[in-house]
Structure 1
Amino acid sequence: MKKMKYIYRMGVASMATMALLFTSSCEKYLEVENPSNLTQDAVFGSVSYTNSAITGIYNRLMGDDGYGSRLSIIYTQSADDFKTSGSYSALDRRGISEYGVAPQNTELNNPFRQLYEGIERANICIKFIPLSEPYNSGTESEKAQMRKFLGEALALRAWFFHEVIRNWGDVPASFIPSADQPDLYLEKMDRDEIYDQVLADLEQAIALLPWQTESNDPNTRITKGAAKGIRARIALARGGYSLRRDSRKMERRSDYLQYYQIARQECLDVIERGDNGLNSSFEDVFKSLHGQSSLDANREMVFRVGAYGGNARTDSKLGYANGLRQNTSSSWGYANGGVRAIPTYFYEFGIGDTRRDVTLGLFELTAQDDKQVVTAINMTDAKFRKYWTNIHDQSQTLGIDWPLLRYADILLLFAEADNELNGGPSVQAIQALKDVRVRAYAGDEAKIGAIPTSKDEFFKAIVKERLLEFGGEGIRKYDLLRWNLTETTLNETREKLNAFRLGEGMYDNVPNRIYFKLSPFTNSSATEEILNIDFVGGTIDEAFYRSTPGGGSAPAPEGYTAINWRDAVSNGYVYGVNDSGTPDGSGYALHFKAGQSELLPIYSEIVSENYRLTQDYGYLQ
């Protein structure tokens, strides 16, 4: 059924059954009893079946329409780190990336519906778990398990609502199963009301959930620390700026500081608990998402969305649809790499910052397994690499998990909230920022620079650090929105791109072209792979910061290959019009319109299916 009311209409028993059917272990249950015959009493009367129902909620996070593709690498573009590749069209993923999406764009459809399916599955569990026999009169172990399940359902529902709100603003909201909803055609609810409800829900969830070291659950399950981090994220969104329906302006409410207080305390609890810590290797944080979880012994990954099954419904296309590009004939298998770095992002990283070579895909693998350095506009988001998995064929679903919450985020959210509340950073806030920076420079404290102590300068340092730390992780766009810095940052980045194109200002020594020798890929660390490339002009930290003889326009020396660097950035890329006057659709954030583009339109068919639903923010139905 394609009606808007579908998202609330599914019956209790049928939705619980669907939750079972979508688990990886459902075959075991099919051997016992046909799920189509299960009632809610049978599902929630069993700890095992209830666990399957909870897994069914988690299931709605992943897949092509979740964090396996659209919610992770399409909806999150663009900011000053990455953008979607290709030329603009209002009716495909580039329309989202370029802030010019039309309500008829089908990319808007399924993710919206899938998020509400997750909310409905959570609503069912939240209603029936407290009514169940194991929750009320089971053994102490059963009661503890059912309390944990209830906490997970509350936390997951909160995150689903947050994802809907940060993309669409005010939306319909129901906190009961559709079978109990007297009217399925719901109006939009003010986002502040929804946020206040889910923040209260998360407070309840935190009381129900164990710490990870108590439960020994994998970090694909929400534990107390993850719920606290999620509550901090949502609190800062509630206390931040957002585009309002009535004024069509970016506003934040006068009571915003109380939400900063929530965020500060939740993060402080996680920090003081000590269950999580920074991984000493920035690269290993992301390798741990590629089936190498042992590389994250410090548990920096607080919560990740698990991918499995090798299909579009439960697996991810991370590392294929995005990530470092690999030629079809490469021994390591084909990877498309459809997300591209903003050229100036390369120069935001300081010399010696280990995050640069992990975050930015400066090369791609050729058919001969050589490293081909790419042009400035073709760098990819290299925290996702197919060759880090054990799948080296033409597969598109690689089982790579999505990093939804890291301990580095906990530290920086704490530092940000502390600074805002105290009119400047405390010693603990300064240390939190320092810890992230020191890890970035592989423990070399001499390279991190001075950390400012005034409120405004410390906030600017947080803004910069989050750009460097979380590039390609789907965070930057939403940070800029809650800070009301989106329009400003897009304009400043465009100015930087033009200066880069012209070789002016901080880019005056950046070469027009780069000369390098093709070199064999050795599957060593990201930094070593870059260091092993022979560039004319020295190492990467010399060749990319200093014009070569001839201004970078001379023919390549014998044995070297030339690629465009500054020359790759055209007037069309910056402003959308080539030197000849013809339009160029591959430009950067060309269609941003303040008072509209901060939020997405709801897919037109969904609006048509609910007579109480409106298309707002200047979008035409």
Structure 2
Amino acid sequence: MKFNIYIIIAAVLLGATSCKDFLELPSEKDFDSSTIFEDVGKVEMAVLGAYTSTFNAELFYQFGMGTDECFSTEGETNSKNQVSNYVYNPAISPTSTYAAMYAGVEQANVLIRNIPLMDQVSETETTKLNMLLGEAYAIRAANMLHVVRYFGDVPYPTIPVVEMPDFSTSRVSRDTILDGCIQDLQEAIALLPWKGESGMPVERISKNAAYGLLARIALYAAGYSLRWDLDSYASGSVRLAQRSDTQRIQELYEIARDACKTVVDRGENELIDYETIFRDLVNGRYNNESMFEYGQKGADRNEARLGYTNGIFAHERSFYNKSQPAMAALPTYYFEFEEGDVRRDVTISNYAITAESIHQMNTYANHMVGKFRVNWKGDGGVSAAQRDINWIHLRYADILLMYAEAENELNNGPTAVAKEMYEKVRLRAFQNDRSKIGETPGTYADFRDAIIQERKLELGFEGWRRTDLIRWGILYEKLTETKQEILDLANHTGKYEGVAQYRAYKRTDARTFNDPTVALDFIALESEPTQEERTALENQGYTILNMYGASAVFFANAFSADAVWVRNIYRGLEKNKVELFPLNTTTIDNNPGLRGQQHPLY
């Protein structure tokens, strides 16, 4: 958020935007290398320009839904609702992330090609150029992971477009791509400074962040993905599997483990108060937990609408201006947090803000994403849809959980270190009360399940759940189980039999920036109160809310098993098919090398 002026200058220098099709990306010539690569300052502006293509709204919006945390509140004929519920085909398959990531890759390729060719530079300038080259390598790796985790085997350009023999690029094995990304990050780590030594803003990739990205990519490279025969594209060859080289899988877990260990041993990052992470985020403040963020300041970067489509509802006439979410927390997600877990009320907002600037309690059907709420800001932002809220790509809690996961995989069970890393995250969630975190599992399978659940609770709505479930090979199973739990909650059966059907709460004013309200307190009522009970509560200032009813300022739909929105959740889910998106028809039409290379089941 603090270097947006350079982004504006860089955009002019680069002559590129993140929404261009891959075949329309700027070539090396567009960088005017005769001037940019003779001046270190201009090279830095070019690197900053490449950061504008490291993020896209699809990453938290379409791709952030369809999980066991989050669903789309848009209509069933809306393409975003269809994507979130696995109803997609080549005609509506998302394209924005694909195009944006490749724009960043091309920018990185030009930088990687030209920076080493710069001569007649001083020792100080050489140090700076090494850092910039490291950032370019890291950007290329991070962007390619985003493409691979949604589309699988894809084109893998590692040289500028102008140097390619032709403009036709075909699919490359994701194993080759992810191994290349690992090499890129290892190069980056050798070139980048530690954040504590450089004072780099969190919107730029430090050595700390590069280690975290390395661990993340190594875990994806070792995990499951939807695969098929790249020679025949036969539908019968489609399967969900890990790579065949078991020794390489072991090496990848070692890479992930060692990368996380290095960050932990360095000691520059730490866990902070959970609520503070996101209050800092929406207000542009730095802390030692957030390791890499996408800066949102500036009109060109604010198009992601963070806090608008993925925040709480605020009426357009409210003190905070309009906030119009298009996604909400699944009703069951709220109940997965154990009693005393402070993450629940930060992650899930149990209130919306009315036209009269009142906190009004949500029903089970419209609990909202709480981490990016506009009332926690210290100001109104640029506009209703442009709140200057950054996006966190990586934070320290993720490092600890990846460390624990890799240790468990390498040792066929949790080591003492694995348990320690896992428990650090758990203890923070329960304000360091060890009596509340329970016993840490001791077997491989139980600890793996615990990690899967803990990542859900810790990293909710942060854009990784959908593909995490895929890399664990359990997307279909987990979502099938979740759908049944949604129906059980709707029917008050099974483990949800005793869930309160009504709540009594007090409506409170919402007329201040930096709103201290995290959650509205309530009295749980198992059944509808009698008239006498209702009168007594109302005389004390309480409002009675039917938690299954349609009384809401946003997504005012009753919660029942036969409700259309409930029936349609995950309606297109098919195992060994939807784990990857098909390439959009336009994407294939624009690239002759992809013709005949569509996802075999589409």
TM-score surpassing 0.5?
yes
Residue 440 of structure 1 deviates from its aligned partner by 0.6
Map 1:263-274; keep pairs closer than 5 Å. 263-274=256-267
Map 1:148-159; keep pairs closer than 5 Å. 148-159=131-142
Q: Determine the structure 2 residue equivalent to 1:92.
A: 79
Residue 526 of structure 1 deviates from its aligned partner by 8.3
Q: Secondary structure at the match of 1:607?
A: helix
> Are residues 1:162 and 2:155 paired?
no
> Are residues 1:231 and 2:214 paired?
yes
Q: Determine the structure 1 residue equivalent to 2:283.
A: 291
> Are residues 1:206 and 2:189 paired?
yes
> Are residues 1:357 and 2:345 paired?
yes
Map 1:429-578; keep pairs closer than 5 Å. 429-521=418-510, 529-531=518-520, 533=521, 535=522, 538=523, 543=524, 547-548=526-527, 558=538, 560-566=542-548, 578=563
Tell me which of 66, 79, 86 is aligned to 2:67. 79
Residue 547 of structure 1 deviates from its aligned partner by 1.0
Question: Do the aligned residues in 1 keep the contact of 2:349 with 2:518 (CA within 8 Å)?
Answer: no
CA–CA separation in structure 2 for the residues paired with 1:380 and 1:227:
32
CA–CA separation in structure 2 for the residues paired with 1:402 and 1:3:
22
Question: Do the aligned residues in 2 keep the contact of 1:240 with 1:252 (CA within 8 Å)?
Answer: yes
Map 1:110-125; keep pairs closer than 5 Å. 110-125=96-111
Q: Determine the structure 2 residue equivalent to 1:389.
A: 377
Q: Secondary structure at the match of 1:218?
A: coil
Letter in 1 for 2:89: A
Q: Secondary structure at the match of 2:138?
A: helix
CA–CA separation in structure 2 for the residues paired with 1:586 and 1:599:
23
Q: Structure 1 segments of 4 or more deviating over 6 A?
A: 524-527, 568-575
Q: Determine the structure 2 residue equivalent to 1:278.
A: 271
Residues 570 and 217 (structure 1), Cα distance of their counterparts in 2 relative to 1, 3 Å cut: closer
> Are residues 1:186 and 2:175 paired?
no
Tell me which of 105, 109, 116 is aligned to 2:95. 109
Question: Do the aligned residues in 2 keep the contact of 1:239 with 1:260 (CA within 8 Å)?
Answer: yes
Question: Do the aligned residues in 1 keep the contact of 2:376 with 2:516 (CA within 8 Å)?
Answer: no
> Are residues 1:53 and 2:46 paired?
yes
Gaps of 5+ in 2: 1-15, 230-236
Q: Which moved more, 1:358-367 or 1:559-568?
A: 559-568
Residue 124 of structure 1 deviates from its aligned partner by 0.1
Q: Determine the structure 2 residue equivalent to 1:401.
A: 390
CA–CA separation in structure 1 for the residues paired with 2:399 and 2:374:
28
Residue 11 of structure 1 deviates from its aligned partner by 2.5
Letter in 2 for 1:259: L
Residues 100 and 43 (structure 1), Cα distance of their counterparts in 2 relative to 1, 3 Å cut: same
Residues 179 and 376 (structure 1), Cα distance of their counterparts in 2 relative to 1, 3 Å cut: same
Letter in 1 for 2:465: R
Tell me which of 602, 609, 618 is aligned to 2:590. 609
After superposition, the CA RMSD in angstroms is 2.6
CA–CA separation in structure 2 for the residues paired with 1:224 and 1:565:
47
Tell me which of 176, 196, 202 is aligned to 1:219. 202
Residue 590 of structure 1 deviates from its aligned partner by 1.3
| 1:322-352 CA distance string (max 9 Å, x none) | 1111111111111112210010101100111
CA–CA separation in structure 2 for the residues paired with 1:570 and 1:289:
29
CA–CA separation in structure 1 for the residues paired with 2:534 and 2:581:
47
TM-score (norm 1): 0.86
Question: Do the aligned residues in 1 keep the contact of 2:27 with 2:106 (CA within 8 Å)?
Answer: no
Residue 522 of structure 1 deviates from its aligned partner by 6.7
Question: Do the aligned residues in 2 keep the contact of 1:500 with 1:507 (CA within 8 Å)?
Answer: yes
Tell me which of 43, 49, 53 is aligned to 2:36. 43
Residue 428 of structure 1 deviates from its aligned partner by 1.3
Q: Secondary structure at the match of 1:259?
A: helix
Between the two proteins, the alignment pairs up a number of residues equal to 566
Residue 586 of structure 1 deviates from its aligned partner by 6.8
Letter in 2 for 1:275: E
Residue 87 of structure 1 deviates from its aligned partner by 2.4
> Are residues 1:12 and 2:4 paired?
no
Residue 71 of structure 1 deviates from its aligned partner by 1.7
Letter in 2 for 1:363: Y
Question: Do the aligned residues in 1 keep the contact of 2:366 with 2:556 (CA within 8 Å)?
Answer: no
CA–CA separation in structure 2 for the residues paired with 1:570 and 1:385:
20
Question: Do the aligned residues in 2 keep the contact of 1:572 with 1:586 (CA within 8 Å)?
Answer: no
CA–CA separation in structure 1 for the residues paired with 2:164 and 2:459:
40
CA–CA separation in structure 1 for the residues paired with 2:558 and 2:505:
27
Tell me which of 406, 415, 423 is aligned to 1:417. 406
Q: Secondary structure at the match of 2:593?
A: coil
> Are residues 1:328 and 2:322 paired?
no
Question: Do the aligned residues in 2 keep the contact of 1:335 with 1:386 (CA within 8 Å)?
Answer: yes
CA–CA separation in structure 2 for the residues paired with 1:357 and 1:3:
39
Question: Do the aligned residues in 1 keep the contact of 2:375 with 2:514 (CA within 8 Å)?
Answer: no
Residue 523 of structure 1 deviates from its aligned partner by 5.7
Q: Determine the structure 2 residue equivalent to 1:591.
A: 572
Letter in 1 for 2:94: L
Letter in 2 for 1:287: R
Residue 390 of structure 1 deviates from its aligned partner by 3.6
Letter in 1 for 2:431: A
| 1:441-487 CA distance string (max 9 Å, x none) | 12222211111121111111111111100111011111101001100
Residues 436 and 522 (structure 1), Cα distance of their counterparts in 2 relative to 1, 3 Å cut: farther
Letter in 1 for 2:111: C
CA–CA separation in structure 2 for the residues paired with 1:470 and 1:87:
27
Q: Secondary structure at the match of 1:372?
A: strand
Residue 184 of structure 1 deviates from its aligned partner by 1.1
Q: Secondary structure at the match of 1:491?
A: helix
Question: Do the aligned residues in 1 keep the contact of 2:327 with 2:368 (CA within 8 Å)?
Answer: yes
Q: Which moved more, 1:180-189 or 1:554-563?
A: 554-563
CA–CA separation in structure 2 for the residues paired with 1:5 and 1:458:
42
Letter in 1 for 2:571: L
Letter in 2 for 1:609: N
Residues 126 and 145 (structure 1), Cα distance of their counterparts in 2 relative to 1, 3 Å cut: same
CA–CA separation in structure 1 for the residues paired with 2:385 and 2:311:
12
CA–CA separation in structure 1 for the residues paired with 2:138 and 2:580:
24
Q: Secondary structure at the match of 1:83?
A: strand
CA–CA separation in structure 2 for the residues paired with 1:551 and 1:151:
67
Q: Determine the structure 2 residue equivalent to 1:29.
A: none
> Are residues 1:132 and 2:118 paired?
yes
CA–CA separation in structure 2 for the residues paired with 1:118 and 1:591:
32
Question: Do the aligned residues in 2 keep the contact of 1:512 with 1:551 (CA within 8 Å)?
Answer: no
Tell me which of 145, 157, 162 is aligned to 2:128. 145
Question: Do the aligned residues in 1 keep the contact of 2:60 with 2:462 (CA within 8 Å)?
Answer: yes
